[in-house]
């Protein structure tokens, strides 16, 4: 039986990856290592928590001796590393938290994996999950490819870029078997309501202002989270060692157009007159260092591994909005406590 460590499995994307692996691979033992920060939530995995091939471990990837002991104890065959501080706005307030988890935490895992696999790297794999934000910002034209030079603009993207460089360096220096993917903006169920789509769904439900940064003419490339999890499964099993793959939705939206679309979907769902939710749109001070546009060229993973998104944006948004409307307890639980302080600091000046 293979032992696979998934870090950050209680978070948004991680929980979808854990669910997919636990359901699909009964021959694997899946270990979910998560510190349960504000973004980690075991409710995300309530449906699989009793599965025989699933183990949850609470722990912090920045704790070097804990990580060393964990690898010695369990002798993992593979690592899928998603644990991170993931929100750009929080990185602007507190960059060091991002350096600690995203850089030092990643290097701790790399050290433990290289030591464990040094004698027999055959069949082992360290999979680092990263972001398209490492490439910086695009103008009106062009797409990020796997060879686009790194040019990060926020403390978050700088910390992710740094971790990517460490992963590559461990591949070159120690011949660590790794794969790396850089993905565009995900959306879907279990997304923490600090990010644009779930924040705006929650604010529409609760009749709160929809804070659009700057003029709203910023562009993101949106991918349904389950399609990202499917891509991660494919790259983990079939990706070539030491290769990078870009993952994206072929689905660019200006923020303001996306917000208008979301408002009209929510008007329908909530039985409001058309245009009611859009009255909540409020233009607010821009995010410092705000990247104008991200767009991924996902042709390499498509051509080499046969991956492409399985749902349209319309279908994905329908599933997402329905999930939030059907899970008011989840929303209530994650928006009480620390969230209220964060919200006040970020939006109520």
| Residue 122 burial (CB count, 10 A) | 7
Q: Does 106 bind ligand NAD (CB under 6 A)?
A: no
Please answer whether residues 187 and 140 qualify as being in contact, where contact means their C-beta atoms are separated by less than 8 angstroms: no
Q: Virtual CA dihedral for 51, 24, 33, 70, nearest 10 degrees?
A: 90
Q: Does 13 bind ligand NAD (CB under 6 A)?
A: yes
Question: In angstroms, rounded to a whole number, what is the distance separating the alpha carbons of residues 289 and 80?
Answer: 30
Q: How far is CA 184 from CA 220, 235, 331, in A?
A: 8, 16, 24
Least distance in angstroms from the C-beta of 248 to ligand NAD: 10
- The nearer residue to ligand NAD, 182 or 277, going by C-beta atoms, is 182
Residues with Cβ < 8 Å from 49, sequence gap 6 or more?
42, 56
Angle among Cα 182, 87, 341 to the nearest 5 degrees reads: 170
Q: Does 144 bind ligand NAD (CB under 6 A)?
A: no
Q: Which does 255 bind (CB under 5 to 8 A by kind): ligand NAD, ligand DAU, none?
A: ligand DAU
Least distance in angstroms from the C-beta of 326 to ligand DAU: 22
> Which residue in 6, 30, 78, 105 binds ligand NAD (CB under 6 A)?
105
Looking only at residues 127 through 156 of this chain, which bind ligand DAU when binding is defined by CB under 6 A? 131-133
Q: Could you list the active site residues?
A: 132-133, 156
For residue 5, the cross-strand partners are 31, 79
Residues with Cβ < 8 Å from 61, sequence gap 6 or more?
7, 33, 35, 67, 83, 101, 105, 106, 108, 109
Q: Which does 162 bind (CB under 5 to 8 A by kind): ligand NAD, ligand DAU, none?
A: none
Angle among Cα 78, 30, 169 to the nearest 5 degrees reads: 25
Q: Does 160 bind ligand NAD (CB under 6 A)?
A: yes
Stretch near ligand DAU under the rule CB under 6 A, chosen from 19-27, 91-99, 113-121, 210-218: 210-218
Residues in the site for ligand NAD, rule: CB under 6 A?
A: 7-8, 10-14, 34-37, 39-40, 60-62, 82-86, 101, 105, 129, 131, 160, 183, 185-186, 192
Residues in the site for ligand DAU, rule: CB under 6 A?
A: 86-88, 131-133, 184-185, 195-196, 199, 211-213, 218, 220, 255, 287, 294
């Amino acid at each position: 039986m293979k032992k696979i460590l998934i870090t950050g499995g209680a978070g948004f994307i991680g929980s979808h990856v854990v669910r997919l692996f636990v359901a699909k691979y009964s021959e694997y033992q899946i270990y979910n290592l998560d510190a349960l920060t504000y973004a980690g939530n075991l409710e995300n995995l309530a449906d699989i928590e009793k599965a025989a091939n699933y183990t949850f471990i609470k722990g912090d990837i920045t704790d070097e001796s804990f990580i060393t002991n964990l690898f010695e104890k369990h002798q993992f065959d593979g690592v899928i590393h998603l644990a991170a501080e993931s929100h750009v706005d929080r990185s602007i307030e507190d960059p060091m938290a991002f350096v600690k988890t995203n850089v030092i935490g990643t290097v701790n895992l790399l050290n433990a994996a290289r030591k464990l696999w040094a004698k027999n790297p055959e069949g082992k794999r360290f999979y680092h999950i990263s972001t398209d934000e490492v490439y910086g910002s695009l103008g009106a034209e062009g797409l990020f490819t796997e060879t686009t030079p790194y040019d990060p603009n926020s403390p978050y993207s700088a910390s992710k870029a740094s971790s990517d460089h460490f992963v590559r360096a461990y591949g070159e220096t120690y011949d660590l078997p790794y794969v790396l993917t850089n993905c565009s903006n995900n959306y879907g169920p279990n997304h923490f309501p600090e990010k644009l789509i779930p924040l705006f769904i929650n604010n529409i439900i609760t009749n709160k202002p929809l804070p659009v940064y700057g003029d709203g003419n910023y562009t993101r490339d949106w991918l349904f989270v389950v399609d990202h999890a499917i891509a991660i499964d494919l790259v983990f099993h079939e990706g070539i060692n030491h290769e990078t793959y870009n993952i994206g939705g072929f689905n660019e939206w200006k923020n303001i157009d996306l917000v208008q679309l979301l408002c009209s979907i929510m008007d329908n769902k909530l039985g409001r007159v058309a245009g009611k939710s859009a009255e909540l749109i409020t233009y607010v001070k821009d995010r410092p260092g705000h990247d104008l546009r991200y767009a991924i060229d996902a042709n390499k993973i498509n051509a080499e591994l046969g991956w492409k998104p399985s749902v349209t944006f319309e279908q994905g948004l329908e599933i997402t909005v329905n999930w939030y409307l059907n899970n008011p307890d989840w929303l209530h639980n994650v928006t009480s406590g620390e969230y209220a302080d964060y919200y006040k600091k970020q939006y109520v000046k």
